[in-house]
Amino acid sequence: MPSGGRRPPAPPRRPAPASAAGAPARQAALALLAAVLERRRPLEEALDALPGGLAPRDRAAAHRIAAAVLRRAGSLDAVLEPFLRREPPPPVRAALRAGAAELLLLGTPAHAAVAATVGVVPRPFAGLVNAVLRKVAAEGPAALEGLDAERLDTPPWLWSAWHAAYGAAVRAIARAHRLPAPLDLTLAPGAAAPEGAEMLPTGTARLPAGTRITDLPGFAEGQFWAQDAAAALPARLLGARPGERVADLCAAPGGKTAQLAAAGATVVAVERDPRRLARLGENLARLKLSATLVEADAGSWSPPANEQFDAVLLDAPCTATGIIRRHPDIPHLKRAADVATMADTQARLLAHAAALLRPGGRLVYATCSLQPEEGEAHLARAAALGLRLDPIRAEEVPGLPEAITPQGTLRTRPDMWAERGGIDGFFAARFLRG
């Protein structure tokens, strides 16, 4: 299909409304919120920890409710504020937020949202929750309209940092975080896009948010893998060629490993976390691609015989503030101090990655963070390591000239491609070893 073309739209796959789910879904939503907000556990980990017997429909509804609360917690609290005389205990606050999210954001009919939420709070609070949510149902929509939602739903430290880095675009970035992201797919070589997909100019196939990848024909056969359009760019920019030896550092769950292997390179994928490495192996098996998998710290790993590579991809661990659309728990889990900690780790990994390259070899450094400390700030360190910036040209990233910086690095933001459904925030820079 020509780049930028569109297939006839398939009937939209709409998730069942939360109102169709029962008490187990609401209880599970509160368990997810407690895990993220009280114990600071990642939402995905909390989802994995839900009871195995929970019906898929209830699990999906719980996820939807929890995600809506996490995206809009500041706005929901502002709507609830006038109706609360004192701070309720955390589980009751969570239930009020979840009920308000159902009423104001998820379209659950008022009687169902109120009754279901009252049913999952401790009995002494049933009256309070009933009264407050009835008021939210009546007055909440107008109250929500009048709020400065972008600011309320963004932690102040992130707002200040993005304002310093991107100026007025901070508001559009915050707005992009309000909605779930589409499902983006990288296609295996020669594979056709699933029906209804929009082909983006960079080659990614895009389907509506809420589409379940495992439901798509071709999934089991390894025709594609999930990868945001921005996440697909760093491996393309590395330009791995058949037969080249490529090290993929910090590799799991393996979206970029798959791209490099599909390009015909001989790939060594290095990942520290054994469970994530196992997932990478499963993903490659489904895609019928192969790579050498190594469980190691990429900051100290030495390849056999101290081999040097034609190309290295370092997709470094980061604060992940560029992927809040897909992971709305991130603003609740990260703190300002994490940025410097991650930047130190990235500097250590970058120094080691540079040493793995043969003279003249290529290195792409990438992070899914919007914080300049985890992106642009590494350019000076790379120069000190003997890495020469190899500027990225606009034609390498079709349809996204605004993502190429004057220095020739890539900086995508979630407010870019707004009319197409947005794009994750990534930084990437390409270097040559002198």
Ligand X SMILES: C[S@@+](CC[C@H](N)C(=O)[O-])C[C@H]1O[C@@H](n2cnc3c(N)ncnc32)[C@H](O)[C@@H]1O
Choose one: 40-48, 82-90, 272-280, 417-425; the region binding ligand X (CB under 6 A). Answer: 272-280
Annotation-wise, does 382 bind a ligand?
no
Choose one: 114-122, 216-224, 293-301, 386-394; the region binding ligand X (CB under 6 A). Answer: 293-301
Residue 317 is a binding residue for ligand X (CB under 6 A): yes
How many residues form the binding site for ligand X (CB under 6 A)?
17
Distance CA 403, CA 426 (A): 9
Name which position in 194, 299, 375, 414 contacts ligand X (CB under 6 A).
Answer: 299
Residue 433 is a binding residue for ligand X (CB under 6 A): no
Residue 297 is a binding residue for ligand X (CB under 6 A): yes
Q: Which of 368, 392, 403, 404 is catalytic?
A: 368
Strand partners, 314: 249, 365
Annotation-wise, does 250 bind a ligand?
yes
Nearer to ligand X, 102 or 228 (CB): 228
Least separation in angstroms between residue 341's CB and ligand X is 12
Nearer to ligand X, 245 or 272 (CB): 272
Residue 378 is a binding residue for ligand X (CB under 6 A): no
Nearer to ligand X, 93 or 272 (CB): 272
What character string, x for contact with ligand X (CB under 6 A) and - otherwise, covers 234-263? ----------------xxxxxxx-------
Least separation in angstroms between residue 433's CB and ligand X is 20
Annotation-wise, does 318 bind a ligand?
no
Choose one: 35-43, 103-111, 161-169, 291-299; the region binding ligand X (CB under 6 A). Answer: 291-299
Residue 267 is a binding residue for ligand X (CB under 6 A): no
368 catalytic? Reply is: yes
Q: Which residues are annotated as a binding site?
A: 250-256, 271, 297, 315
Q: Would you name the residues annotated as active-site residues?
A: 368
Interface residues with ligand X (CB under 6 A) are 250-256, 270-273, 276, 297-299, 315, 317
Q: Which residues are annotated as a binding site for S-adenosyl-L-methionine?
A: 250-256, 271, 297, 315
